[in-house]
Amino acid sequence: MGAKKSKCSEDSSGEVNFDHFQVLRAIGGGSFGKVCIVKKKDTKEMYAMKYMSKTNIIAKKAGNDVLRELKILTTLDHPFLVRLWFSFQDEEDLFLVMDLLLGGDLRFHLGQQKRFSLESVRLYMAEMVLALHYLKDRNIMHRDVKPSNMLLDDGGHCHLTDFSVAFVVQSKRLPKSIAGTRPYMAPEMVGQDEHSKGYCYAVDWWSLGVCLFELLRGKRPFCLLSTMDDTEMAATITTSPIKFPTEFDLDAKDLVLKLLESDPTLRREHVKDIHSHSFFKSLDWNQVEQLKVQPSFVPCRNEVHCDPYLEFEELLVESKPLHKKKQRLKKMPSRSSSVTKLEPAPNPDCRVFRRSASHQPKVMYLFMLIHGC
């Protein structure tokens, strides 16, 4: 992963902004924008920059969701979670500058017909177990655990990313909304009714069980049709037997069945003992957390492990390409008048940080568009 420990220069106001970065290429996409590789001009450090269109945020009334993701990211510092280093905005977009992991996500490698070895999957799952326990200790549900949100660094270690639908549990107030990606959703999330009391951290462990099966089998454990409504989907994943091939590892099979327990209460009980599960018996958990276990699969460093169409789309299809932002903003009649819809967030918690070398947040002021979203 690599810690960014170099001291960064700033403008005269002490802020980091878009002008401090050189955009290199697009490597990912999302609901409100895309992810690009960028280089900080003064330090030459490489990062992943996620940028989100303010227009889309307003149209989808997602201002509070974006703010929640931002606030969560400022609290995280774990070896298997993608970390935030800078955040800022301009007239068009909000920017999050994070760890750059060039090994590609596990969905990409599955799409390239990559068959992961049992040892590789064992290490990925152990690293995700540690990440999810860290999040639970901070009352955070990720709610979108899936292979495309598991990124490999250049050493082959796995990191969980994308907190756009994460939820912070406060005063035992449990979420009831459906969030995440349907094939990875737990039955208690999709099968709720007006009498439901909500769901808890067990939804992330269900998703991890789906990922474990998929990484070893090459396909997901349940056949879910796009035409299914929530009730049909909940019934399918709670009643359909999971078909394991004869060569499926017995310890992995047992762990899959425990994680895909339809009763979330029983699933939580299984998770309490997950560190001692026989599937992980060959691993030293302290060595795993210190990144001292050598992955058996290390992505080639001479390749970019992402869909090449993303770069084509950014250059030729995108109506407001990031690499032309400076020229576009210069042509605006008045940069001050173009941000009249933005107001300073009244809550002092609505702030953004630059992560220092000691990994402690340095709070910086940011205008957040919340009202009217």
Residues carrying an active site annotation: 144
Task: State whether residue 173 is helix, strand or coil.
Answer: strand
Amino acid at the residue 173:
R
| Cβ pair 190, 230 in contact under 8 A | yes
Query: Nearest 5 degrees, angle CA 248-CA 254-CA 259?
Result: 115
Residue 101 is which amino acid?
Answer: L
Please list, in sequence order, all residues whose beta carbon lies within 8 angstroms of the beta carbon of residue 349, skipping any fewer than 6 positions away.
71
Rounded Cα–Cα distance for residues 77 and 22 (Å): 25
Distance CA 138, CA 58 (A): 29
Instruction: Report the C-alpha gap between 307 and 312 in whole angstroms.
Output: 10
Taking a C-beta distance cutoff of 8 angstroms, is the pair 188, 123 a contact? no
CB atoms within 10 A of CB 17: 14
Helices 202-217 + 118-137 axis angle, to 10 = 170
297 to 78, 226, 353: CA distances (angstroms) = 22, 33, 34
Q: What SS3 state is found at 359?
A: coil
Dihedral sign of CA atoms 255, 256, 262, 264 in order = positive
Measured CA to CA, the distance from residue 12 to residue 95 in angstroms comes to 20
Burial status of residue 230 (CB atoms within 10 A of its CB: 0-12, 13-18, 19 or more): middle
- For 272, residues 6+ apart whose C-beta sits below 8 A from its C-beta are none
User: Who contacts 65 (Cβ-Cβ below 8 Å, separation ≥6)?
Assistant: 164, 165
Which residues are bridge partners to 35 per DSSP? 28, 50
